[in-house]
Amino acid sequence: MTLLCIAGLAIAGVALAYCVHLGAQRDDTGQSAAEFTFVPPNQAGLAGDGITPASDEVPEQLNTVRSKIMLCTIDKIDADVLSVHTPDGRKHQLTLSPDTHVESAKGSELTDLAKGDLVVVRVVESDTTSTVDLIVDGRVSASIPDN
């Protein structure tokens, strides 16, 4: 039994040495694993002359918007405001936009949601407002065997 274990370790050692030998033969000189190149969306996957138009250059400071995901229960849905409360009891007034997307087992309209529904909401925050970008009905649908 001991001889079989020693033979197995010897074979594993030879295999490891061979892998290290193959890895040492690669020519990766001058290339860092962390290097990356910015490719503008309109040039992704296209062969070109490598000249980037000024409109597609990376700005020095990107204008980013903060967003967050909330698990909450719907209190009220108005035409442009979604009133919700979170499990810790905090209440929020979130602004709805025409671009708000709804995902639900009942449909994809705000009218498919009701008071008391558990939802996951993605909120985009600007200076003073919180605008809802996406509402996902929190109920999980699964098929029941023998249905």
Q: What is the distance, to the nearest Å, from the Cα of residue 11 to the centroid of all Cα atoms in its chain?
A: 43
Tell me what percent of the residues of the chain surpass a pLDDT of 90: 20
C-alpha to C-alpha distance for 20 and 124, rounded to whole angstroms: 49
What are the backbone dihedrals phi and psi of residue 18, each rounded to the nearest 5 degrees, phi first? -65, -40
The predicted model gives 123-132 an average pLDDT of 80
More confident residue, 121 or 25: 121
Query: CA neighbours within 13 Å on the CB side: how many for 82?
Result: 33
pLDDT above 70 (res 25): no
C-alpha to C-alpha distance for 36 and 17, rounded to whole angstroms: 31
- Lookup: tokens for 128: 């003073």
- 3-state SS, residue 118: strand
pLDDT of residue 62: 47
- The pairing of strands 66-77 and 81-85 is antiparallel
Quick one: pLDDT band at residue 82, thresholds 50, 70, 90?
very high
End-to-end CA, the chain: 54
pLDDT of residue 23: 63
More confident residue, 37 or 112: 112
Mean pLDDT of the chain: 75
pLDDT of residue 147: 43
pLDDT above 70 (res 52): no
Q: What is the CATH number of domain 66-137?
A: 2.40.50.320
Is the CB of residue 85 less than 8 Å from the CB of residue 72?
Answer: yes
pLDDT above 60 (res 57): no
**DSSP annotation of 109:** S
Of 14-28, 34-48, 78-92, 105-119, the poorest mean pLDDT is in 34-48
